Structure 1
Amino acid sequence: MTSRALILGCAGRTLSAEEAAFFRDARPWGFILFKRNIGTPEEVLALTQALRATIGRADAPILIDQEGGRVQRMGPPHWPAYPAGGRLGRLNGSGSAMAWLGARLMAHDLAHVGINVDCAPVLDVPVAGAHNIIGDRAYGDRPETVAELGRAVAEGLMAGGVLPVMKHIPGHGRAAVDSHHGLPVVEASREALAAQDFRPFRALADLPMAMSAHVVFTGLDPERPVTQSPVVIRDIIRGAIGFDGLLMTDDLSMHALTGPFRARAEAAFTAGIDVALHCNGEAQEMRAVAEGTPELAGAALRRAEAALARIAPECAAFDVREARARFEAGLSAAA
């Protein structure tokens, strides 16, 4: 059965009969979970199994935003609290090793409840005066630091059987507005963006998946946010950055985008997006997005299959207890 080029959320910790019927009809490529969906480990595993059962694909990607710090959907009391990326970036000499280890532990947590894609690493490079929506989610304010720790996080996740999604390509660090609530407009030149913002993405362009930024860059396309800009997707993401992996939107329900939900999706696909993401689980919005979403085919299907092919089984030899003790000791020593 073919899939639609679509990732959807659901409303709660269990699927309603209406949701299950809609998912069977809509045939999304995958799903995404938020804190509203997270109960006990047993409940999360039952939910991921139920989601996959609705579309009849045991390998369907199930995503989550599990960065650590402010953005951690699975946390205490059932899972540890992980540090924000900025704290890892301040661990002089041990940052990369600790970033890898923390991501490897996160991957263990996720894989054991059926989640196989993490929307991390954050490769945005914040600048002074920008909105705090990125803030300490970033690994640092230098492209080299962000690229180095981002690579460590991506490799730690993949070592544990979880695909990374780098975000928010080609960079959200200059935004003066939270794109959840409004549309950021960045007036930096292409040269300035290439010298800083694009660099971590270019360094990690071999990763399997990336999430677009709902940001207008006036020096690239003054009319449209990246998610809906054929110019930025073609010339910058696929061109200057050199990313040929699966490109998904950020959440289409965010207020950075306007207009009917079907039109939001259609504009993204016209621009060259591979897969649309809709997160909030609101039924009418999901139906409208699905109506504007094509079958997963052509280059998008190739990229989706290539991404899933990179999910390796978690290594059975990984000693979780020892690794967690080592991670906590490393953080304590640094503090």
Structure 2
Amino acid sequence: MSAQTVQTILVTGAAGFLGSHLCDHLLADGHSIVGVDNLSTGSHANLAHLAGNPRFRFVEADICQPFDVGPVDYIFNFASPASPVDYTRLGIETLLVGSAGTINTLELAKKYGAGYLHASTSECYGDPEVHPQVETYWGNVNPIGPRSVYDEAKRFSEAAVVAYHRYHGVNTHLVRIFNTYGPRLQANDGRVISNLMIQALKGEPLTIYGDGSQTRSFCFASDLISGIVLLSRSEEHMPVNIGNPVEWTILECAKEILDLTGSTSKIIFKPLPQDDPTRRRPDITRARTLLGWEPKVKLREGLERSLSYFQACVNTPQAV
């Protein structure tokens, strides 16, 4: 995607957490956006601020069925349940959006000669035996475990994206997204930051699965989106990790949230779910080298910038 040329861009999953932030970024760059979402996990509330914007059009559609929004210059495919709560509830739908949905969007890119970026995930690495995770690592994934509907859907979609580049010459890009947080992250989606922030703000015990020594790396949404847009403008067609390489234990993260919120909540421990990764941290050498990108927002700053959003969620009962 050119940084200078104004384009018509299709964003699938536009009403989701990351999809809506991507729409904001692209609109700020002067592009026109067609946002598509079936609202199975996305929310109109994430796009409410774009109502009346002449350069934004929303289409409610399921990309697992053939669809067409007219000629576009670029496609960002962000459609998929992404949280454990959602892909556990929508297992078959998750498999379909990673397979049929990805193929349908790739067909549109082929039809219109559009550039294409697919939102993949660090879950492709599974419970990694290589640490930190480099893009050349093939992963350690249980193909029939409870997380497999998401992990294997994303692994298939990566194969499909690369195949359309190899066989049809589609200008494709692949980003492997590591844990991301910020405003619009679903309050009840089962991920670390949202779980702990909501529990702390409600004065409930903070739930840690396992002994809290397992690690994650947390990337603020604005950092992630800037990296993704840079990748879309690059000549790189193989996967690129975008995430924050600073590693936190879950227990350290919980203590940081307690300190930020001033909560007196206790920490409780529960069994670690099956196939839950014990370590997760991206090697971002490729992003630094190819894109000149690295994250700028430290965890404490990102949590501070997210606090008012999560406070509003707690004050809106239906949100949690």
TM-score (norm 2): 0.36
